[in-house]
Amino acid sequence: MSLFELIYKWRYYNIDTIVKEIEMLRSLPKEDFLQWQEKKKWEIAQYLYDNNTFYRDYVGDVFPEKWEELPIITKSDLQIDLDRLISKPYNIKNLYINNTSGSSGHPLTFTKSYYTQARVWAYKKYFLAQHGLTLSSKEARFYGMPKSFKGKIIQKTKDFILNRNRFVVFEFSDEIFEEWIKRFKRIAFEYIYGYTSAIVLFSRYLIKKRLILKEICPTLKLVIVTSETCSVEDKAIIKKATGVKVRNEYGSAEAGIFGFECDRGHIHLLEENLYFETNDRNELLVTDLSNKSFPMIRYNIGDIASLENQKCTCGNRNRYISKLEGRTNDVALLPSGKQSPGLTFYYVSRALLESSGVLKEFIIRQTALDTFEFDVVSDKKISQKDIEELEYSVAEYLEPGLKIIVNQVDKINRPSSGKIKHFYSEINRKLDSK
């Protein structure tokens, strides 16, 4: 048992207990499992109706008899004071609390019971075991890092407990990639986890240098890409550069892991934790089957997806996503010649969100090599101080001398997929058109 699991067991819940439950549920005949799932989804909806003031008001005076008559919840519905969203008898002190703006550009603070969060970790442990890995396996994490001293200490503590070594992905250069290669030579990493765009850029550099990461780091077994869409071409590049399997992880911070990709390239849904459906516009709706603290019932994720009921030849009977309009992020090109992934702007905007609370919805567009425009929807006027803080954050995370334009708008037009990317590079489009 890993250090993390021991701490979690001591403070909250035994993750292994849930792993055994997942295995038991997967051993049930399909009809028995569907009956179990049907019972769980109604139980959680009824509990929230009885114990969550927001959800009771949202549903109305009569609890419906048909599942489809329960109202669909969106992020904007939940962008209210957190105290109004928490069920009885829970309180903030005994809940897991997090916030996300993600690639959709919608900031949201949410809660989970620690039992619900344990179910997320249990599924990750279950998936890793299929690839000869554990929660204590050495992870090369291609992710961001907070700039504040407190934020760094928190993340470094988490990385230590979870046996992770972080590759900060705010900028890329040949010198940085060479330092990363030295780390893989020095440390016995067992798997890579992180943003698609960062891993692809590193992989392209490895290919250019005619290096295979598995030969540099023989203990490496797997690459897991997350948060951004990984195309077939991206997967081929990563596999060629690393020499190991590449798997997509799909999910969201507020609902957890939705599923992982199988050997056949299908993302199978975690139906032991979540109930999935689509509405008449094929928007993916998620119901958390265990989180009694927060109204995650028929929650509209924002992705357009098609769910496949046909059994996959990999042997996993759970439904899988046959088509997904997911998240992609461009890479920002900077005047100095540096490159930075679009998800860097998640950290920039989150800093502003947490310091001022003005953001409701936003996108960032790079309109020139040195110019970034923030289109922001806000309930209150954005002050000069807010703009100055944003300029400071951009200079700190990217580089000094960049021009920041903040446009306060009434709404942001959504693309046909329904998912708003956090960052759009109009520079890349201009370069591609030449």
Q: What is the largest CA-CA distance in the chain?
A: 66
Task: State whether residue 380 is helix, strand or coil.
Answer: coil
* pLDDT for position 403: 93
**8 Å CB contact between 427 and 333:** yes
Summary mean pLDDT of the chain: 87
Mean pLDDT per block of 10 residues along the chain (434 residues) reads 91 94 94 97 98 97 96 92 93 87 64 94 95 96 86 92 93 91 98 90 93 98 88 90 96 90 92 95 93 96 86 90 66 85 68 60 85 84 85 86 89 55 70 46
State which fold the 331-433 domain adopts. Answer: GMP Synthetase; Chain A, domain 3 (3.30.300)
Which residue, among 230, 253, 269, 265, has the nearest Cα to 302 in the 3D structure? 253
Distance (Å, whole) CA 189 – CA 187 = 6
Sign of CA pseudo-dihedral 337, 428, 358, 348? negative
* pLDDT for position 290: 95
Classify residue 423 as left (phi > 0), alpha (psi -120 to 50) or beta. beta
Task: State whether residue 324 is helix, strand or coil.
Answer: strand
At 63, list the tokens: 């609890």
**8 Å CB contact between 310 and 337:** no
Q: Which residues of 21-46 are buried (b: 16+ CB within 10 A; e: fewer)?
A: ebeeeeeeeeeebeeebeebbeebbe
**8 Å CB contact between 351 and 150:** no
Residue 391 CB-density burial (10 A; 0-12 exposed, 13-18 middle, 19+ buried) = middle
Sign of CA pseudo-dihedral 111, 114, 120, 125? positive
Query: Hey, which residues does 163 pair with through a beta bridge?
Result: none
Give how far the C-alpha of residue 152 lies from the chain's centroid of Cα atoms, to the nearest Å.
20
Please tell me whether the peptide bond between 218 and the residue prior to it is cis, using omega within 30 degrees of 0: no
* pLDDT for position 304: 81
> Can you give the residue ranges of every domain in the chain?
3-325, 331-433
Element (H, E) at 253: none
Contacts of 207 (CB under 8 A, 6+ apart): 237, 240, 241
Which residue, among 48, 43, 144, has the nearest Cα to 90 in the 3D structure? 48
Dihedral pair phi/psi, residue 109, rounded to 5°: -100, 135
- Other Cβ atoms closer than 10 A to 156: 14
Contacts of 102 (CB under 8 A, 6+ apart): 227, 252, 253, 327, 346, 422
Reading across the β-sheet that carries 361-368, which strands appear in turn? 403-408, 371-377, 361-368, 423-425
Q: What is the pLDDT of residues 252-272, one digit of tens each?
A: 888 899 999 999 999 999 999
* pLDDT for position 101: 55
Q: What is the pTM of this model?
A: 0.81
Task: State whether residue 351 is helix, strand or coil.
Answer: helix
Distance (Å, whole) CA 178 – CA 172 = 10
Distance (Å, whole) CA 248 – CA 218 = 22
Considering the four listed CATH numbers 3.40.50.12780, 1.10.10.10, 3.40.1410.10, 3.20.20.10, the one that applies to the domain covering 3-325 is: 3.40.50.12780
* pLDDT for position 433: 47
**8 Å CB contact between 173 and 338:** yes
Give the gyration radius of the chain's Cα atoms.
22
- Other Cβ atoms closer than 10 A to 315: 9
* pLDDT for position 370: 93
Residue 122 CB-density burial (10 A; 0-12 exposed, 13-18 middle, 19+ buried) = buried
At 111, list the tokens: 């809660």
Distance (Å, whole) CA 385 – CA 368 = 24
